[in-house]
């Protein structure tokens, strides 16, 4: 069972540490102080995970069981790799029999059992390489992709929602029946067209805000469970009209 860090002091580090002013900007100093005093950051280090984001995935899985029985997983926007660490563990992926593929335009250190691609997921050849890397049909496509922030909230929202939409269409193209799709989004509204498409293709579509996601963050996760399987276009269109 995944539980919030109790007391935030499992590493022996004191909470409430301050960073000396020095030459740092006030905003940078506040970010560093928040990071080093974050109990999820400390717990991730203690348990050998690459980032605190791992607890977001674990909390979502605890409630929604999206990792149960997964044999192949594709991880989009994977750096630094904490979600891929979990994926390799649950699938039993090894270097000899890789069942997890991870992609990010940022560099990632190697992970046992994970095929890593340092490239932009929007490159035309990226989807093919990911599918070939896992050696079969994935049971879970998960995306922690987010566009680099500009400081303009609406612009950042639209750019990240575009990545979410691209990831969703990829998931519908490659998932096996019964598979799941999980993607980062931002508060401010998921595009109606995207939600409609997901509801046509999955049995359940919800938004999730795990406890490990900072309260002040506009981050949320879009979870689509139980892929219905690929159907002829005319059948999908017919279903869409029936739902209208």
Residue 239: CATH number of its domain:
3.40.50.150
Q: Are residues 177 and 234 in the same domain?
A: yes
184 catalytic? Reply is yes
Q: Are residues 145 and 128 in the same domain?
A: yes
Is 115's pLDDT higher than 80?
Answer: yes
Choice among 32-36, 97-101, 200-204 with the minimum mean pLDDT: 32-36
> Chain-wide mean pLDDT for the chain?
83
Asked, as a colleague might, if the bond just before 80 is cis with ω within 30 of 0, I would say yes
Q: Are residues 159 and 225 in the same domain?
A: yes
Q: Are residues 161 and 91 in the same domain?
A: yes
Q: Are residues 97 and 16 in the same domain?
A: no
Contact (CB, 8 A) for 94 and 110: no
- This prediction has a pTM of 0.79
Q: Are residues 28 and 69 in the same domain?
A: no
Distance CA 142, CA 73 (A): 8
- Model confidence at 122, pLDDT cuts 50, 70, 90, reads very high
Q: Are residues 129 and 224 in the same domain?
A: yes
- Model confidence at 5, pLDDT cuts 50, 70, 90, reads low
Q: Are residues 99 and 216 in the same domain?
A: yes
Q: Are residues 40 and 143 in the same domain?
A: no
Q: Mean pLDDT across the stretch 224-235?
A: 78
Active-site choice (23, 63, 184, 225) = 184
Give the per-residue pLDDT at 37. 53
* Total count of domains within the chain: 2
Q: Mean pLDDT across the stretch 128-152?
A: 91
Q: Are residues 9 and 70 in the same domain?
A: no
Distance CA 222, CA 185 (A): 6
Q: Mean pLDDT across the stretch 129-153?
A: 90
Q: Are residues 41 and 123 in the same domain?
A: no
Q: C-alpha angle with apex 148: 147 to 149, nearest 5 degrees?
A: 105
Give the per-residue pLDDT at 25. 56
Give the per-residue pLDDT at 187. 67
Is 6's pLDDT higher than 60?
Answer: no
What would the pLDDT profile of 73-95 be if each residue is shown by its tens digit?
999 999 999 999 999 999 999 99
- Model confidence at 2, pLDDT cuts 50, 70, 90, reads low
Give the residue from 48, 64, 86 where a domain finishes. 48
Question: Regarding predicted confidence, which is higher, 101 or 39?
Answer: 101
Q: Mean pLDDT across the stretch 186-205?
A: 86
Distance CA 226, CA 172 (A): 11
Domain limits for position 41: 1-48
- Model confidence at 3, pLDDT cuts 50, 70, 90, reads low
Q: Are residues 77 and 189 in the same domain?
A: yes
DSSP lists the bridge partners of residue 225 as 204
Q: Mean pLDDT across the stretch 166-181?
A: 97
- Model confidence at 191, pLDDT cuts 50, 70, 90, reads confident
């Amino acid at each position: 069972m995944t539980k919030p860090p109790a007391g935030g002091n499992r590493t022996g580090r004191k909470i409430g540490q301050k960073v000396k002013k020095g030459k740092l900007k006030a905003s940078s100093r506040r970010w560093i102080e928040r990071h080093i005093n974050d109990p999820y950051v400390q717990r991730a280090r203690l348990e050998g995970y690459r980032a605190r984001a791992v607890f977001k995935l674990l909390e979502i899985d605890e409630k929604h069981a999206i990792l149960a029985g997964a044999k192949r997983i594709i991880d989009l926007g994977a750096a630094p790799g904490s979600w891929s660490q979990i994926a390799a563990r649950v699938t039993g992926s090894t270097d000899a029999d890789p069942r997890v593929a991870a992609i990010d335009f940022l560099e990632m250190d190697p992970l046992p059992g994970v095929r890593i691609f340092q490239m932009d997921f929007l490159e035309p050849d990226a989807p093919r390489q990911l599918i070939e890397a896992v050696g079969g049909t994935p049971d879970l496509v998960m995306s922690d992709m987010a566009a680099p922030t500009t400081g303009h909230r609406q612009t950042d929202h639209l750019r990240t929602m575009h990545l979410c939409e691209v990831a969703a269409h990829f998931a519908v193209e490659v998932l096996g029946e019964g598979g799941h799709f999980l993607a980062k989004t931002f508060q401010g509204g998921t595009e109606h067209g995207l939600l409609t498409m997901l509801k046509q293709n999955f049995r359940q579509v919800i938004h999730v805000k795990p406890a490990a996601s900072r309260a002040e963050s506009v981050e949320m996760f879009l979870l689509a469970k139980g892929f219905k399987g690929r159907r002829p276009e005319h059948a999908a269109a017919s279903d869409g009209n029936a739902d209208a």
